[in-house]
Amino acid sequence: MKVVLGLSGGVDSSYSARYLMNLGYEVIGVTMQVYENTPSNSDIEDAKNLAKFLGIEHHVIDMRKEFRDHVISKFVDDYLNARTPNPCAVCNRYVKFKFLLDAKEKFGADKIATGHYARVIYDEETKRYAIAKSKYAEKDQSYILYDLTQDQLKDLILPLADYTKVQVRKMAEDSGITLSNKRDSFDICFIKDGDYKRFIRDEKLGADYRERIASGENEIPFLQKGYFVDKEGTILGWHEGIINYTIGQRRGISIDVGTINKKSKLKFTDRAFVGDIDVEKNLVTLVSDEDLYKDELYCDNVNFQVYEDIAEPTRALCKIRYKDNGEYGILSKEGNGVYKFRFDKKVRAIARGQSAVFYIDDKILCGGIIK
């Protein structure tokens, strides 16, 4: 049986190749080039060298246009509209797994595979496929796979579902894979230096934006200074442009609590946090930590996995970010593609644009974009 494996040049996909070969699969490695320097030349070379070491067929495929159209453009648009993006989830559905299915068809393969730490299950009751949490919570990556479709799931193999990262590194080393100690990448893959603000400026304005600003051009909305305000609208001071802020942020607020308390009737006892961003009015609302806790959210663009939909309010666990442990509550259908989740306990810093992913017994019920 033939399988197309997404080969990134990291240890997880590298050992997945060896694992699948040990099971008797004929493995074809495919590597996406998604941005001018990403994967970096060294990542592509690592993937090529690994394929050569294992003796498997390998292809590097140019996906730069698709990646820009679906991932980079949305990432920039989200930030400029005060939403917190989730580029990995977007990439998985609209770029990476489409790429793998296309490669499966092109090379006449039977299955596709990646090195994600999660499980694919088939529910006999609902007759549907779903992503489920990996065996070990510390490396579980199910959250970023919530948007995969039934067509993408039905032929997917995830070889690392039952292993820890430590185990995978050890098994890779024992297999002679020289990438066993390669560092994981935790940053956004297409922003090499981690400076997403610089990246957005370059994408939106061109690399000459510094010269444009220096020459006196100041009609650039997301770079314009505006007001910090409190919940009642009282002006507290100046912010440095909405691009610099996200919900729940504390660092980078250029005004201290003492100054805030001289102007606001709402006394801040400790620190101030970003509680809301009004793009049209160019306002950033500052709140105390307790104001960041909310007990409900609304989401749309919902993708269902283990069930096709829900008709009645359904109890589930909701994660609002990748490293979140989740909180239980009730998911209900509001109409017009909108769903509401009411938490049992308030959760902190729910951010527009992030993904809310809902689980039933470790299986993904559905996930959507927080409104």
Active site residues: 91, 189
Which CA distances in Å does 268 have to 10, 98, 348?
46, 49, 17
Alpha-carbon gap, residue 13 to 5, rounded angstroms:
8
User: Structure tokens of 256?
Assistant: 């201290």
* Residue 55 contacts residue 43 (beta carbons within 8 Å): no
335 C-beta neighbours (distance < 10 Å), count: 6
Q: What amino acid is encoded at 215 in this protein? A: S
Alpha-carbon gap, residue 315 to 360, rounded angstroms:
8
Q: Enumerate residues 6+ apart whose C-beta is below 8 A from 74.
A: 85, 87, 90
Name the one residue in this structure whose structure tokens are 């939403």: 83
Q: Strand pairing of 128-132 and 119-123?
A: antiparallel
* Residue 353 contacts residue 370 (beta carbons within 8 Å): yes
Fill in the DSSP letter of residue 170.
Answer: H
- Given its phi and psi angles, is residue 361 left (phi above 0), alpha (psi -120 to 50 degrees) or beta? left
Q: Enumerate residues 6+ apart whose C-beta is below 8 A from 44.
A: 9, 31, 33, 60
